């Protein structure tokens, strides 16, 4: 099911993110997804996240779909040119995968193959345009497709807590003009900034999912503050994680912080997207504490 149908019904759309393994044995990942994520609206599958080589997103999406989940096919422009990207989109449509998230992608020097040659034939905006071309029945070169064209729920990313709000709004506008149907945000730890951004983003009329990265420990937040653009965890959250080391180690503090952020930001968005970074088993507790359990 396209998640845009859920947005259109006025539902608060809850999704989460899983990363394929560095190998092709994904039985454990599938079982954990079925146990902890089966009640969610959809599940994002990352695409060589952080430029680290892993099992492909498309194959993982197909496996999770066969297991009864609703996958979102993440696509980055780093590793494939426009031929491969369009081919993978048609493959996704063939498999009945109709949710996508279009990303430019991290640079290869950040990952485990730093000398790999990056592609970046397209970026997130031009990839969205490419998807719209396929939906209109032709490829990016204007050649007609055989048969009925595909139809996707086309998503993109925005960073509402970036230092440059105007730049993020400009990027958001370009993505909307290229055909974006919905947005998922980068991780948010500052509800006030999020609310201010969402007030300005209303002009685009597109549903936005709040991005939550479960805070595991102090080191994780300090790393993100230093290295992840558009993400800033205030010192108060860091002190909260420091306060009870055993509680933090058990994941309880991270669950409490995540649930609180969702409750505070919920009035300003149309859904939440949880990036658990391997803590999928914490998601049901977060949703229950946030008041989102069905």
- Asked if 194 and 166 touch (Cβ cutoff 8 Å), the reply is no
In a domain, 294, yes or no: no
In a 13 Å sphere around the CA of 186, the CA atoms on its Cβ side amount to 19
Residue 53 inside a domain? The answer is yes
Averages of pLDDT over runs of 10 residues in the chain (294 residues) are 96 97 96 96 96 96 98 98 98 98 94 95 98 98 97 97 94 98 97 97 97 96 90 94 93 97 98 95 97 84
Report the distance separating Cα 135 and Cα 19, nearest Å: 28
Burial code (b: 16+ CB inside 10 Å, e: under 16) for 72-100 equals bbbbbbbbbebeebbebbeebbebebbbb
Give the total residue count for the chain.
294
Please check whether residue 216 is in contact with residue 260, taking contact to mean a CB–CB distance below 8 angstroms: no
Domain containing residue 277: CATH number: 3.20.20.220
On whether residue 218 sits in a domain, the answer given is yes
Q: Does residue 78 lie in a domain region?
A: yes
For residue 47, the enclosing domain spans 3-289
Q: Is residue 32 within 8 Å of residue 71, measured between CB atoms?
A: no
The residues near 76 (Cβ < 8 Å, ≥ 6 apart) are 47, 48, 103, 104, 105, 106
Domain count, the chain: 1
pTM: 0.95
40 token code pair? 């969610």
Residue 204 in domain? yes
pLDDT of residue 230: 87
Domain presence at residue 11: yes
What's the pLDDT score for residue 294?
62
Specify if 148 maps to a domain: yes
């Amino acid at each position: 099911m396209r998640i845009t149908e859920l947005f259109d019904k006025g539902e608060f759309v809850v999704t989460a993110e899983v990363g394929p393994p560095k190998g092709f044995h994904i039985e454990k990942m599938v079982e954990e997804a079925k146990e902890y994520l089966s009640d969610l609206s959809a599940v994002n599958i990352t695409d060589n996240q952080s430029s680290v080589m892993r099992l492909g997103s498309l194959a993982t999406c197909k496996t999770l779909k066969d297991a009864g989940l609703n996958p979102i096919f993440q696509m980055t422009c780093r590793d494939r040119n426009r031929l491969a990207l369009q081919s993978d989109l048609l493959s996704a449509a063939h498999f009945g995968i109709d949710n996508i998230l279009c990303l430019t992608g991290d640079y290869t020097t950040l990952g485990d193959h730093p000398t790999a040659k990056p592609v970046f034939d397209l970026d997130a905006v031009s990839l969205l345009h490419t998807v719209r071309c396929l939906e209109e029945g032709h490829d990016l070169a204007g050649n007609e497709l055989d048969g009925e064209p595909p139809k996707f729920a086309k998503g993109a990313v925005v960073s509402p807590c970036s230092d440059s709000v105007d730049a993020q709004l400009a990027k958001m506008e370009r993505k909307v003009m290229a055909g974006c149907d919905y947005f998922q945000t980068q991780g948010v730890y500052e509800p006030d900034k999020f609310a201010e951004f969402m007030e300005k983003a209303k002009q685009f009329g597109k549903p936005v999912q709040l991005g939550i990265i479960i805070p595991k420990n102090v080191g994780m937040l300090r790393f993100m503050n230093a290295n992840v653009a558009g993400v800033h965890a205030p010192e108060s959250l860091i002190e909260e994680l420091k306060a009870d080391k055993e509680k933090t180690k058990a994941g309880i503090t991270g669950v409490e912080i995540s649930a609180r952020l969702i409750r505070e930001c919920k009035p300003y968005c149309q859904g939440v997207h949880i990036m658990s970074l391997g803590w999928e088993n914490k998601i049901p507790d977060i949703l229950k504490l946030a008041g989102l359990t069905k």
